[in-house]
């Protein structure tokens, strides 16, 4: 059963946002089945490619502030998925490593991602997949921040009545 078509005047940004949210929600639901919380799958995938990455670089690649990443890493440490160790040459730098359990859970998470990828690809023939991939890459590049920026700017805290802006 196909979803009903939306009017052709539906904003592309709105459709893209809805699609991304549905994909993210489906992925999170499947990851939760194996005990992973939001964002932890990405961390496991990244560590599978760069085990021992600096925590600040991991935050940059996850497009979050380091302070946002810390609670997720603490939770993953408690679940014995990762361990953090100081860099031997610079004690100020914390490096993140997969544990044996983390490697096993990563493989399960990778299988979930591959299953979802197969589901998505099944909806399109090879030519449609190539066109969609091209369109998504163009949109991603169009929306990419300038190369000079690093970690996203922190959100500004709203100032309530009677408070002064810092």
**18 part of a folded domain:** no
Lowest average pLDDT, out of 12-26, 80-94, 141-155, goes to 141-155
User: Tell me, what CATH number does 129's domain have?
Assistant: 1.10.10.10
Per-residue pLDDT of 62-99, as tens digits, reads: 889 999 999 999 999 999 999 999 999 998 999 999 99
**122 part of a folded domain:** yes
With CA atoms as reference, report the closest residue to 47 among 121, 98, 111. 98
**86 part of a folded domain:** yes
Domain housing 105: 24-142
With CA atoms as reference, report the closest residue to 55 among 79, 46, 146. 46
| Per-residue pLDDT at 75 | 95
| pLDDT average, residue stretch 23-52 | 93
- pLDDT averaged over every residue in the chain: 87
**91 part of a folded domain:** yes
Task: Provide the number of structural domains found in the chain.
Answer: 1
Q: Distance between CA atoms of 32 and 164, rounded to whole angstroms?
A: 41
**10 part of a folded domain:** no
**31 part of a folded domain:** yes
**162 part of a folded domain:** no
**138 part of a folded domain:** yes
Q: Distance between CA atoms of 41 and 31, rounded to whole angstroms?
A: 7
Kindly tell me if the per-residue pLDDT of 7 is higher than 60. Answer: yes
| pLDDT average, residue stretch 27-36 | 94
pTM for this entry? 0.73
Q: Distance between CA atoms of 108 and 4, rounded to whole angstroms?
A: 33
| Per-residue pLDDT at 3 | 61
């Amino acid at each position: 059963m196909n979803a009903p078509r939306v009017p052709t005047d539906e904003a592309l940004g709105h459709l893209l946002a809805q699609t991304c949210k549905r994909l993210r929600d489906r992925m999170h639901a499947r990851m939760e089945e194996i005990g992973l919380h939001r964002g932890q799958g990405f961390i496991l995938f990244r560590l599978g490619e760069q085990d021992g990455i600096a925590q600040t670089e991991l935050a940059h690649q996850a497009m979050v502030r380091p302070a946002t990443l810390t609670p997720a890493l603490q939770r993953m440490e408690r679940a014995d998925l990762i361990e953090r160790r100081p860099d031997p040459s610079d004690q100020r730098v914390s490096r993140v490593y997969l544990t044996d359990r983390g490697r096993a859970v990563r493989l399960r998470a990778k299988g979930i991602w591959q299953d979802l990828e197969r589901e998505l690809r099944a909806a399109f023939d090879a030519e449609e997949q190539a066109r969609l991939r091209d369109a998504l890459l163009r949109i991603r590049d169009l929306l990419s921040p300038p190369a000079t920026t690093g970690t996203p700017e922190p959100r500004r805290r709203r100032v309530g009545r009677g408070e002064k802006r810092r």
